[in-house]
Amino acid sequence: MKLNFPCENHKISLDFGFDASDDLSLKGFYELFDNKHPGVDFDLPEGIDIFAAFEGIVVRVENHIGMGNTIGIRNGNILSLYAHLSKIEVNLGEIINSGQLIGESGNTGKATTSPHLHFELRDLRYKVLKDMVFKPEFEMEINNFQDQFNYKINNSNNPKNLLFLSKMYFGSEEFAEKIKIVNNLKINFDEILPQDVDIKIPNFN
């Protein structure tokens, strides 16, 4: 799967892995990532068109306290995040083409000092957030892409059932049946899944 640029201006103002430990303007933004910048920032004014960097399904549309208006698009085990948006043009569960307009750049959320696009990639095979993020290599194939991956059930924070997993990985409950079939499960959609069981997460297509 090829990773394309999410905007026409390719100027990166803050690269992946930047150590913000001693930067007072960024202090506290990236504590969950050992104070390392978990994505790349594109230097954009507000209102610039933002495009999907690859095809996928919309699994996050939210106003995050730090990232502001945020879109998450998943393809296989790879999640792309587009943050601090001023405008969102997609809906949860919507299948998006690569290069499709998804929103506009902005300055929303608390983890920002000026208008820009924060773009981030996460490998969903990992459990810990700081281990998920990796450096985007634009106009190249994503080497760690997998069409299907396993999720180990963890009910410690939220009890997991098929409907919950469908919303988490597909943005809607409509794919619960697909998860059930792929895993050959004989349970109801709202039945809590056993702790530590591996569940195959299929792709959206």
Contacts (Cβ under 8 Å, ≥6 apart) of 25: 113
How confident is the model at residue 60, as a pLDDT?
Answer: 98
pTM: predicted TM-score of the whole model, two decimal places: 0.95
Residue 37 has pLDDT above 90, yes or no: no
55-77 pLDDT, tens digit each: 999 999 999 999 999 999 999 99
DSSP reduced 3-state for 7: coil
Distances (CA, A) of 192 to 16, 47, 59, 152, 184: 38, 43, 21, 13, 16
Query: What is the full DSSP assignment across 14-74?
Result: E-TT-B-TT-TTTTTTTGGGTTB--SEEE---TT-EEE-SS-EEEEEEEEETTTEEEEEEE
DSSP reduced 3-state for 120: strand
Question: What is the strand order of the sheet 87-88 is part of?
Answer: 49-51, 101-104, 87-88
